[in-house]
Structure 1
Amino acid sequence: MKNFGKRLSLILVLFIFALLSACGNDSTETSEEQSGTETEASEKELSIAQINWAENIAVTNMWKVILGDKGYNVDLTVLDMGATMMALERGELDASLEIWLPVQDANYLKEYQDTVDFSESTWFDNAKVGLVVPTYLEEVNSVKDLNAHKELFEGQIIGFDPGAGTMEITEQLIEDYNLEFELLPSSEPAMLTEIGNAVENEEPIVAPLWSPHWIFSNYDLKFLEDEQNTFGDVEKIHHATRQGFKDDYPEISEWFSNWKMNDQQIGELINYVENADEPLVGAEQWVEENQDLIDEWVK
């Protein structure tokens, strides 16, 4: 009986040990499965910078919809241009969808070309930047005309986001032409409100603007001639990504490179986004109605 008791005790110990080992293996397997799930989930997470400019809001929401349909969860992080570039350099952002070259964002290209990947591909090839005034100001047609009408404008150029490449070029323009004007920074919505109020009251105003932009379909505005070409000629819009993005997301990198829009397409997209209750709702409607175009990008 004593030997039987010893054998029974030994069997019980072995059984308990086997049970604990099985539990441990299950726990390890569960942990590995969870780790794999988390890795897979993280590979579907993207962070894209959004700048509060009409066309930027439009295209970032458009890509949020397109990538969402492909199973990606896209976080749009609102930043100004300077903060966007620093975040890309640190790897805190995956992409910025709006880099104007060769002039407007040349300073950012120069500073970050070794630490941020700027695309060679462009998604818009016919952009224009310059100072604009309402068309009813018939006596003002060139940047050189501004000093002669300084009092008309109270010596002020109404600007938008400080740190934007176009704002820095406008400061350079003031220096190049020896303008007796001050550039007043604000935000794009504030600047557009000022332009709208001025036009409705047929008052003078001068501001830096760019095309494509919905405001040209709302108000009669004209670009001032820039004889010294400070703003440059035709601008092209690129995108930029953090280093390593192409390796992590080769498929999306190819889609971004395939992305092309013309004046009509970007104008319509901006209009949909501007007039919707929420930007994403407008982008969803535009994407749904332009699936053939999008299929050319994400083929």
Structure 2
Amino acid sequence: LGYDVKISYLDVAVMFSAVANGEADGSVAPWLPITQGAIFEQYKDSVVDLGPNLTGAQNGIAVPTYMDVDSIAELSDEAGQVITGIEPGAGITGLTEEAFEVYENLAGWTQKTSSTGAMTVELGQAIAKEEEIVFTGWTPHWMFERYDLKMLEDPENVMGAGETIVSLARIGLEEDMPEVYKVLDNFNWELEDMQSVMLEMSEGVAPEVAARNWIDANPDKVESWIE
């Protein structure tokens, strides 16, 4: 629409506070109600919640489809009883620690934390050798587009039944820039849409180019945001 947009990449807590204090106009990244719910509770009265822009997001513990296990409750001695995780402060990392407390069969299991990048590298290496790996997985993510993976069933519902990604706006944005506010409010897409963009980016395509490719391929959806 001709706006000069600045995108800032921030830690989760800083992302919420930036919208709440007006340093940022909005965000389309928060995961609710579980993953970032506790942080959202701190700021919910200082932001405008525009509702979901993507439904069907999910946190979980996942494995390649060649592994003969379908549920967290079935895990026994796979992958050396190690779950390959991501950053220590991530929401899914905390949920996995909770799973250790809830599932008796996970006694003796540990979570190896590092980074999202390191986890996906280990995942790719394990799949190339068809080795066992149990890892923290979530959708949308490009790894579910690139590899044959399955999310393990979670009968105790520790990881959450399903997440939404929501849009937030700063208080006053609707009055200051009504057109921008309307686009943020209208913005929505599907899990497969986001994963296709992420997959291109994981293969080295610049984010702006991957976004433009998706926009060019989905004119009707984009028109619904800006009509």
| TM-score normalised to structure 2 length | 0.88
Of structures 1 and 2, the larger Rg is shown by 1
Name the CA distance, whole Å, in 2 between partners of 1:137 and 1:145: 12
Equivalent of 2:61 in 111, 131, 147: 131
Shift of 1:131: 0.4
Letter in 1 for 2:2: G
Identify the residue that residue 94 of structure 2 maps to in structure 1.
Answer: 168
Identify the residue that residue 109 of structure 1 maps to in structure 2.
Answer: 40
Shift of 1:276: 5.0
SS at match of 2:5: strand
| TM-score normalised to structure 1 length | 0.68
State the identity %. Answer: 34
Letter in 2 for 1:155: Q
CA pair 162-243 structure 1, distance change in 2 beyond 3 A: farther
Higher relative contact order (CA 8 A, sep 6+): 2
**Contact 2:146 2:199 (C-alpha < 8 Å) held by counterparts:** no
SS at match of 1:74: coil
Letter in 2 for 1:153: A
Shift of 1:97: 1.0
Name the CA distance, whole Å, in 2 between partners of 1:172 and 1:247: 43
Identify the residue that residue 5 of structure 2 maps to in structure 1.
Answer: 74
Instruction: Please identify runs of 4+ aligned residues in structure 1 that moved more than 3 A.
Output: 271-277
Shift of 1:280: 1.2
Name the CA distance, whole Å, in 1 between partners of 2:170 and 2:133: 39
Equivalent of 1:269 in 197, 201, 210: 197
CA pair 232-274 structure 1, distance change in 2 beyond 3 A: same
Equivalent of 1:89 in 6, 20, 26: 20
Equivalent of 1:248 in 172, 176, 180: 176
Equivalent of 2:85 in 152, 159, 171: 159
For each residue in 1:153-203, what CA deviation from the matched residue of structure 2 results, as whole angstroms up to 9, or x when unmatched?
233221223333222222222222253333233222211111111111112
Residue 232 (1) aligns with residue 160 (2): yes
The count of corresponding residues between Structure 1 and Structure 2 is: 225
Residue 204 (1) aligns with residue 132 (2): yes
Letter in 1 for 2:155: E
**Contact 2:26 2:168 (C-alpha < 8 Å) held by counterparts:** yes
Shift of 1:228: 0.8
**Contact 1:134 1:221 (C-alpha < 8 Å) held by counterparts:** yes
CA pair 164-246 structure 1, distance change in 2 beyond 3 A: farther
Q: Which of the pair is proportionally richer in helix? A: 1
Name the CA distance, whole Å, in 2 between partners of 1:183 and 1:241: 35
Structure 2: runs of 5+ lacking an equivalent = none
Structure 1: runs of 5+ lacking an equivalent = 1-69
Identify the residue that residue 40 of structure 1 maps to in structure 2.
Answer: none
